[in-house]
Structure 1
Amino acid sequence: MDRERLVEELADAFGGTETALRAVSRQARDLTDSGRIEEDLEYKPTVEDVLSNLEDAPEEYSVIERWNWWIGSLELSYGDYQRFRVRSDIEDPAE
Structure 2
Amino acid sequence: MDRELLTDRLEAEFGGTPAERRVVARMAGDLADARATDDDLGFELTPDAVVNQLADAPGGSPAERWNWWMGALEAAHGGYRRFRVTAWQREDS
TM-score of the alignment, normalized to the shorter chain, above 0.5:
yes
TM-score (norm 2): 0.93
How far apart are residue 94 of structure 1 and its match? 4.3
2:67 corresponds to: 68
TM-score (norm 1): 0.91
Structure 2 counterpart of 1:9, one-letter code: R
Q: Deviations over 1:39-82 (max 9, x none)?
A: 111221111110011001113x1110000000000000000100
Contact 1:17 1:91 in 2 (8 A): no
Gaps of 5+ in 1: none
Structure 1 runs (4+) deviating above 4 angstroms are none
1:32 corresponds to: 32
SS, match of residue 8 in structure 2:
helix
2:83 corresponds to: 84
